[in-house]
Amino acid sequence: MKHFKLITAVTFGFVMLFSFQMNAQEFRGLDKSPMDAASYPSSYKESDKLVKITYSRPQLKGRSVDELAKEGEVWRTGANEAAEITFYTDVKLGETLIKAGTYSFFVIPEASEWTAIISSDINVWGSYSYKEKNDVARIVVPVTEGKESLEAFSIAFDKSDNGINMHLGWGTLRVAVPFTI
């Protein structure tokens, strides 16, 4: 009888211990600006990538793009953490060679053109600690207008004659950043 009580007490103790641990874990709801990634080639089945960018996707929700990505101010290219771009091979942005590696990707929006910036800073929240001295490459690219409006900020890649283009889209605003391979 003593063994039965001891086994029952130990079993009860383990059940209580594990039930407290399972109940203690709480999971957050879906982020308002969920993290996403875009890559080239874009096929999820192809593992031999040239480039991949990880960014968060803010929504317009009745606001304008220039309210959220202010003209003349460095923007983290998305929400939350600064976008991080990884090149798996050396590329050029304009005339500047960028060595394979991981960088932050910032932009400075203007009405008719945006400045795209590759920065050596990584693991950065927002653009609050952006330092121009850590720029690896910059290029100014024109703003165009798309036919459809995108509610969520979006990034996509496609092949060009000399390399790849990274397309940024939000609302009807479109920006293409060319990388030469």
Q: Encode the chain (181 residues) as per-residue pLDDT tens digits.
A: 565 565 555 555 555 555 555 556 788 888 888 888 999 987 666 678 899 999 999 999 999 999 999 999 999 999 999 999 999 999 999 999 999 999 999 999 999 999 999 999 999 898 888 999 999 999 999 999 999 999 999 999 999 998 999 999 999 999 999 999 8
Contact 113, 138 (CB under 8 A): no
Output the pLDDT for position 179. Answer: 97
* Res 28: pLDDT: 80
Q: Note the pLDDT of residue 21.
A: 52
Q: How many CB atoms lie within 10 A of CB 59?
A: 16
Answer yes or no: are the C-beta atoms of 89 and 100 closer than 8 Å: yes
pTM over 0.85, yes/no: no
Q: Which pLDDT value is given to residue 34?
A: 85
- Give the largest Cα separation in the chain, rounded: 85
Please give the torsion angle defined by the CA atoms of residues 163, 168, 173 and 178, in that order, rounded to the nearest 10 degrees.
Answer: -20
pLDDT of residue 17: 52
3 state SS of 76: coil
The structure tokens 């086994």 sit at 7
